[in-house]
Structure 1
Amino acid sequence: MILCITHSRDTYTIDLVQQRLQQLGHASFRFNTDEFGTRYQLQYRLEKTGPSYRLQHGDTVIHASDITGVWYRKLWELETPPNLDATYIPAFRKEYNTALHIFLDSLDVPWINPIYIDHAVGSNKLLQLAFAQAAGLQVPQTIISNHAVDALQFYDACNGDVVVKLHGALSHTMDGAGAFFPTTRLRKEDTAMLESLSACPMILQENIAKERELRIAYVDGDFYTGSLKAPETTDWRTSIVQWQQFMLPAAVEEKITNMMRSMGLYFGAIDMILQPDGQYVFLEVNPQGEWGMLQKYLDYPIAAAIAEKLALRVTQR
Structure 2
Amino acid sequence: MILCITHSQDTYTIELVQQRLQQLGYPSFRFNSDEFGTRYRLRYRLTPEGPQYQLQHGKQTLNASDVSAVWYRKLWKLQVPPSLDPAYVPAFIKEYNTSLHIFLDALDVPWINPMHIDHGIGNNKLIQLSAAQAAGLHVPQTLISNHAEDAIKFYDANNGDVVVKLHGALSKTMDGAGDFFPTTRLRKEDVPMLESLAACPMILQEYIPKERELRVAYIDGEIFTGSLKAPESTDWRTNSTTIIQWEPYQLPPETAEKIDAMMRLLNLPFGAIDMIVQPDGKYVFLEVNPQGEWGMLEKYLGFPIAETIAEKLVNRITNE
**TMscore range, shorter length:** over 0.9
Given candidates 297, 300, 309, the residue that maps to 2:300 is 297
Question: 1:168-187 deviations in whole A, cap 9, x for unaligned?
Answer: 10111111111111111101
Who is 2:8 aligned against?
Answer: 8
Distance 2:2 2:318 in 1: 12
Distance 1:178 1:92 in 2: 26
The CA deviation at 1:47 is: 1.1
Which letter does structure 1 place at the counterpart of 2:280?
D
Who is 2:316 aligned against?
Answer: 313
TM normalised by structure 2 equals 0.98
Which letter does structure 2 place at the counterpart of 1:12?
Y
Moved over 2 A (4+): none
Who is 1:155 aligned against?
Answer: 155
The answer to whether the aligner puts 1:94 opposite 2:97 as a matched pair is no
Matched ranges for 1:116-195 at <5 A: 116-195=116-195
SS of alignment partner, residue 126 of structure 2: helix
Distance 2:102 2:289 in 1: 25
Who is 2:281 aligned against?
Answer: 278
Who is 1:205 aligned against?
Answer: 205
SS of alignment partner, residue 53 of structure 1: strand
Distance 1:242 1:196 in 2: 36
The CA deviation at 1:206 is: 0.1
Who is 1:75 aligned against?
Answer: 75
Which letter does structure 2 place at the counterpart of 1:269?
A
The CA deviation at 1:316 is: 1.6
The CA deviation at 1:297 is: 0.5
Which letter does structure 2 place at the counterpart of 1:245?
P
Who is 1:287 aligned against?
Answer: 290
Unaligned segments of structure 2, at least 5 residues? none
Distance 1:274 1:42 in 2: 49
SS of alignment partner, residue 178 of structure 2: coil
The CA deviation at 1:199 is: 1.1
Distance 2:60 2:306 in 1: 25
TM normalised by structure 1 equals 0.99
The answer to whether the aligner puts 1:25 opposite 2:28 as a matched pair is no
Distance 1:205 1:216 in 2: 21
Distance 2:267 2:99 in 1: 25
The CA deviation at 1:116 is: 0.4
Matched ranges for 1:236-275 at <5 A: 236-239=236-239, 240-275=243-278
Question: 1:214-265 deviations in whole A, cap 9, x for unaligned?
Answer: 0000011111100011111101111231000000011111111111011111
Distance 2:140 2:30 in 1: 39
Which letter does structure 1 place at the counterpart of 2:267?
G
The CA deviation at 1:48 is: 1.2
Which letter does structure 1 place at the counterpart of 2:199?
A
Who is 2:112 aligned against?
Answer: 112
Say what the alpha-carbon RMSD is for the aligned residues.
0.6
Distance 1:51 1:254 in 2: 43
Which letter does structure 2 place at the counterpart of 1:296?
K
Unaligned segments of structure 1, at least 5 residues? none
The CA deviation at 1:60 is: 1.1
SS of alignment partner, residue 56 of structure 2: strand
Distance 2:295 2:214 in 1: 15
Distance 2:152 2:68 in 1: 52
The CA deviation at 1:156 is: 0.5
**Number of residues of Structure 1 aligned to a counterpart in Structure 2:** 317
Distance 1:183 1:61 in 2: 43
Distance 1:43 1:250 in 2: 50
